Structure 1
Amino acid sequence: MNRGWNYGMSQNLRTSIEENLAKLTDLLKSSEIVVLRLNHRPRDFRVTTHACLTARAFGANGVIIADTEAKGIIEKIESLNIAWGGGFWVRDSVATDRVINVWRSLGGVIINLSMYGEDIRNVLSDLYFLRHIRLKPFLVMVGSSKVPAKIYTIADYNISITNQPHSEVAALAIFLDKIHGGNWPRYTEGTVRMNPSLKGKGRISIMRTVGSDEET
């Protein structure tokens, strides 16, 4: 019997998932790269937060934390957007299979990052063509606990950064960097500016008013 990923959920959570999916669909239509975080657990708070930060820094539009609530992570990223700028988004409580179905209906490509996948160097030209020439949107799946076997069949591409044990956050960073050709987004709308330094510690500027700043 195929019980699906949301087997055992409360009715309230299932209702919340359906409502969130309806709100999410329009957001997905305007997105080029979305990360789907699978099997998030409360103890994964730090790693999932780092996955969101990495996705934002390397040019994804947003992250979906599937099949569970993650209010604390959403609030953390929203606060970061205010300070550092950008429209990066995080959504939770949406069923994995429903997200995949919507993405398919939008004509998007589904990619599963896994050490069991094909070496990215062998397929990077194909992926680059799909993203930058055919303008196909990418749904990039990264797991937490053991990823269901069905995911490997659903994915259009199972991609490995290295066929060795490694962090999903590291895999996500390298994948996005390669797909974007090292061209990361520049965020200019926030109240915080980084003034980097090649030698010694850089400085952070806090924008108090338009045209002025305070260094820390």
Structure 2
Amino acid sequence: MSIAVLRLGHRFVRDDRTTTHVALVSRAFGCKKIFMTDVDDSILKTINKVCDDWGGSNEFDIEIIQDWRSLIKSWKRNNGIIVHLTMYGINMEHITLDYEQERNILIVIGASKVPKEVYFMADMNIAIGNQPHSEIAALAIFLDRFFHGKELIYSFQVAKMKIVPSSRGKSVKIRKVKKSN
């Protein structure tokens, strides 16, 4: 089983930071891939640099797509589950997240107004509270509940830098990378 995120839309300049943070949360909280539409190249460079430095280059993929409808249809044809995170959905407190482990999950989150058809294409429309808030928060809370907090202790295998937890200050261990001749 793997989890991927589909970030629908991107309002240029206005959403650069938000879209970057959606990708960072996706990577750090256990997703294997993020699909994005209408994204600026600088965001890809930022995420790829994070993966190179902090790990995930071989564990997390970014794919830019043009046709999100085809992605959702293909995901469903391959027996995947579509979860749309929206404040209009059923509150997460009323949903049991017992998914079959062998089924892949595509989490859909929007940037601007989400097309009505997404609500009908989704297998589940889930709300992380039925109030307006950040899609970043919704994604983080959903993934935390889904993985029962285990994603918080995951360590990427190939990383140049790793945080050394500390009750005071900042400590980072830097792995020396041998340069090839």
TM-score of the two chains, using structure 1 as the length reference? 0.76
2:81 and 2:129 map into 1 onto residues whose CA distance is 21
2:25 and 2:176 map into 1 onto residues whose CA distance is 27
1:208 and 1:92 map into 2 onto residues whose CA distance is 32
1:64 and 1:70 map into 2 onto residues whose CA distance is 13
1:147 and 1:39 map into 2 onto residues whose CA distance is 8
**SS in structure 1 at match of 2:103:** coil
CA contact (8 A) 1:61 1:88 kept: yes
Deviation of 1:69 (Å): 4.0
2:32 and 2:74 map into 1 onto residues whose CA distance is 16
Alignment partner of 1:78 is 2:36: no
- CA offsets per residue over residues 72-104 of structure 1, 9 Å max, x none? 212211111111112211111331111111101
Instruction: Report the counterpart of residue 157 of structure 1 in structure 2.
Output: 124
1:122 and 1:147 map into 2 onto residues whose CA distance is 23
**SS in structure 1 at match of 2:131:** coil
- Structure (1 or 2) with the greater helix fraction: 1
What letter matches 2:2 in structure 1? E
Instruction: Report the counterpart of residue 110 of structure 2 in structure 1.
Output: 143
2:160 and 2:25 map into 1 onto residues whose CA distance is 20
1:131 and 1:171 map into 2 onto residues whose CA distance is 22
The equivalent position to 1:175 in structure 2, one of 120, 142, 150, is 142
Which one has a bigger Cα radius of gyration? 1
Superposed CA RMSD in Å reads 1.5
What letter matches 2:22 in structure 1? A
Alignment partner of 1:191 is 2:163: no
Deviation of 1:35 (Å): 0.3
Classify 1:100/1:110 alpha carbon distance in 2 versus 1 (closer, same or farther; 3 Å). same
The equivalent position to 2:84 in structure 1, one of 112, 118, 127, is 112
Instruction: Report the counterpart of residue 13 of structure 1 in structure 2.
Output: none
Alignment partner of 1:204 is 2:172: yes
Superposition map of 1:10-29 within 5 A: none
Alignment partner of 1:94 is 2:66: yes
1:93 and 1:141 map into 2 onto residues whose CA distance is 14
Classify 1:139/1:59 alpha carbon distance in 2 versus 1 (closer, same or farther; 3 Å). same
CA contact (8 A) 1:74 1:91 kept: no
Runs of 4+ in 1 over 3 A off after TM superposition: none
Q: Which runs of 5+ in 1 are unaligned?
A: 1-30, 211-216
TM-score of the two chains, using structure 2 as the length reference? 0.90
Instruction: Report the counterpart of residue 31 of structure 2 in structure 1.
Output: 60
**SS in structure 1 at match of 2:119:** helix
Asked which structure has the greater RCO (Cα within 8 Å, sep 6+), the reply is: 2
Deviation of 1:196 (Å): 1.2
